[in-house]
Amino acid sequence: MKILILGGTKFAGLHAAREAVSKGHHVTLFNRGTRPAPDGVASRVGDRLLPNGYDSLQGLTFDVVIDTWSSSPAGIKSAVEALRDRVRHYVYISTISVYDFERGNAPYSESTPLFDPGETDNQYIRDKVQGESIVSGSGLPHTIIRPGVILGPAEWLWRLPWWLLRMKRGGVTLAPGPRDLGLQFIDVRDLAKFAILAAEEQLDGPYNLVSEMGHVSFGDFLDAANTVAGGRAELCWMEAQRVVDAGVAPWVELPLWLPPADLSVYSCDVRKALGAGLTVRPARETIVDTWKWVASLKKLPSTAKVGLCPTKEKQVLDGCC
């Protein structure tokens, strides 16, 4: 197949490009040319937000386009308009964050109501809901992939990498409870495999893309991260409400952790994707391979902005552990 990937040099797009090449497909990347392209692909430079931004693709046609765009819906509209007559299928990487969980029931399936863009202040959610609307209304055969939390090598949001480096630092480490809190995420490489599968099989419509609910407990996840990073940390488990009362921000200061009353993001129904061929690797494999990537870095990425600072962590732990 001739596959066009819009982006293709960062996280999901990068792994999709590598997966497509490994399957023997002819891959072309379209981006602004600011990062090196992976081996085995052709590249075309352009800016989707500029007039005539797609000129470098003139004369080319593709079986499928894979689009990982996560910003203004104008970028989706320009892609659809420029590529409508050049592609046979459109794969759009969206997010489970488009769901208005308060209007649905767990486990949340693909039929869960979406947010009204005018009724949310979250720009990312508005952009993704509008992006889905543009793709689904384009008249092109399409797949909309809705991942949950995406982890794995090259994770620039720095959630799992933060925990791994915290474990490497060692010492008494705040572990927010409960230990048996069930995580539900997708390894970026499993996302990439499913995106290429969707292209090959021309899957239709939306698909939640995460592991099954309770894929791994938070306790086992942190234990594995500690072991992989050298086993230097002594986990001090603290009751969830006590963590919140101490002024620790869930998700931001303690990446991936949410209080038990706010677990919609870990409560999605993935049966449709599993039935279509989704495979999910063990959590430990994601942790091990992410650590290898982190250890290979010469410096922290500029996007590494999450995590609890050591001073605040010590204050929270004093008198408890």
Residue 301 has pLDDT above 90, yes or no: no
Determine what percent of the chain falls in helix, strand and coil, rounding each to the nearest 5: 40, 20, 40
Kindly report, residue by residue over 115-143, the tens digit of the pLDDT.
999 999 999 999 999 999 999 999 999 99
How high is the mean pLDDT of the chain?
97
Q: Is the pLDDT of residue 319 over 90?
A: no
Average of per-residue pLDDT across 218-241: 98
Of 24 and 300, the structure prediction assigns the larger pLDDT to 24
Given this model, what pLDDT does residue 6 score? 98
Query: Residue 304: what pLDDT?
Result: 83
145-176 confidence digits (pLDDT tens): 999 999 999 999 999 999 999 999 999 999 99
Yes or no: say if 184 and 215 are a contact pair by the CB < 8 Å rule.
yes
Q: What are the extents of the domains in the chain?
A: 2-151+186-209, 159-183+214-266+282-319
Q: Does domain 2-151+186-209 have CATH number 3.40.50.720?
A: yes
pLDDT of residue 164: 98
Q: 83 by DSSP, 3-state: which?
A: helix
CB 152 within 8 A of CB 138: no
Confidence at 305, pLDDT banded by 50, 70, 90: confident
For residue 297, with 0-12 CB atoms within 10 Å meaning exposed, 13-18 middle and 19 or more buried, which class applies? exposed
As to burial, measured by CB atoms within 10 angstroms (0-12 exposed, 13-18 middle, 19+ buried), residue 16 is buried
Residue 68 pLDDT > 90, yes or no? yes
Supply φ then ψ for residue 4, to 5 degrees: -105, 125
Long-range CB contacts for residues 193-197, cutoff 8 Å, separation at least 24: 193/19, 193/279, 194/145, 194/273, 194/276, 194/277, 194/278, 195/12, 195/16, 195/19, 195/66, 195/91, 195/93, 195/145, 196/3, 196/16, 196/19, 196/20, 196/23, 196/25, 197/276, 197/277, 197/278
pLDDT in tens, 165-223: 999 999 999 999 999 999 999 999 999 999 999 999 999 999 999 999 999 999 999 99
Please list, residue by residue across 91-117, b when 16 or more beta carbons sit within 10 angstroms of its beta carbon and e when fewer do: bbbbbbbbbbbeebeebbbbebebbeb
